[in-house]
Every structure is written in structure tokens, then in C-alpha cells.
Amino acid sequence: MTDGEMVTLREYLEREQAGQRREILDKLAEYRDSHEREHALLAEAIKRAQEALIVRLEGMNEFRSQLEQERASMMTRDTFDAKHEALEATVNKLIDGTNMRVSTLETGYANLSGRITATTALLVVGLGVLEFVLKFVIR
């Protein structure tokens, strides 16, 4: 080794230390960049998750609003029962009236049928008597 190639131990250690420092700083910068990218990706993921959550919550709020509107248009059980009882009473009155009318019609039909039968029987007897009179009296 010549004088130009020889270095002191101090210079050698300083060079080694400077090289190692550069390596450490490069790795640290690489780690920092990687860490910042990871934070940016996590922030983006959180932002997208929040947006998706907001959309879901808006959908849920619309659904809740729709349910409230439907609930407002429905009648309560007590109201239904009261109206149903009133309708049932009205229907029963109509049925009773109809039954009474049908009964009156049936009675009238039976009466008419009886009259027609009696008239027919009387007519048959009258014709029989007339025939008898015509056959035996006029001869």
C-alpha cells in the first residue's frame, strides 16, 4: 500500500459511519414514505367507509320516514273494532230486514198459491156440476 491509499483508522471509521448513516437515513426515509402511504390509504379507506355509512344511514332514514308515514295512515285497533262493530250492526239490521221481506214474500206466495188452488178446485167442481146438469137435465 502506498501513502495515497492508506487511510487512518479515524478516516476509515468516519467513512464507514457516514455510509451506515446514509443507509439508515435512506431506510428511514423509505420507511417514512411507506408509513405516509399507509396513512394516506387508511385515511382514504376511512373516508370511503364514512361515505358508505352515510349512504346507508340515509337509506335507513328514508325507510324510517316511510314506515312513519304508513303508520300514520293506519287506524288503531280500537278505531277498527268500533267501526267494525258499527258495520256489523248495520249489516245485521239489513239481514234482518231482508229476512223479514223474504218471509213476507213467502207468506204472500203461499197465500196466493192457496187461493189459486182453491179457485181451481172450485172451478173444477163448478164445471163438474155444470156438466152434470147439462148431461142429465137437458136430455
Question: Do 52 and 95 lie in a common domain?
Answer: no
Has residue 1 got a pLDDT over 80?
no
Q: How confident is the model at residue 72 (pLDDT cuts 50, 70, 90)?
A: confident
Closest by CA position to 41, among listed 52, 51, 49: 49
Which of the listed residues 26, 42, 74 is the one where a domain comes to its end? 74
Is the domain of 44 the same as that of 105?
no
Same domain, 67 and 120: no
pLDDT digits (tens, 9 = 90+) for 27-62: 999 999 999 999 999 999 999 999 999 999 999 999
The reply to whether 17 and 63 lie within a common domain is yes
- Whether the CA torsion 41, 44, 48, 50 is positive or negative: it is positive
Among 22, 45, 74, the domain boundary falls at 74
Q: Which long-range contacts (CB under 8 A, 24 or more apart) does 13-16 make?
A: none
pLDDT at 4: 63
Same domain, 53 and 84: no
At 106-132, the pLDDT tens digits run 999 999 999 999 999 999 999 988 888
d(CA 120, CA 130): 15
- Please check whether residues 104 and 56 belong to one and the same domain: no
Domains in the chain, number? 2
Statement to judge: residues 60 and 94 lie in one domain? no
Find the domain containing 13 and state its range: 1-74
Residue 67 and residue 6 share a domain: yes
Please tell me whether residues 104 and 123 are part of one structural domain. yes
Q: How far apart are CA 21 and CA 24, in angstroms?
A: 5
Q: Are residues 1 and 65 in the same domain?
A: yes
Do 50 and 65 lie in one domain? The reply is yes
Sign of the Cα torsion 32, 34, 40, 42 reads negative
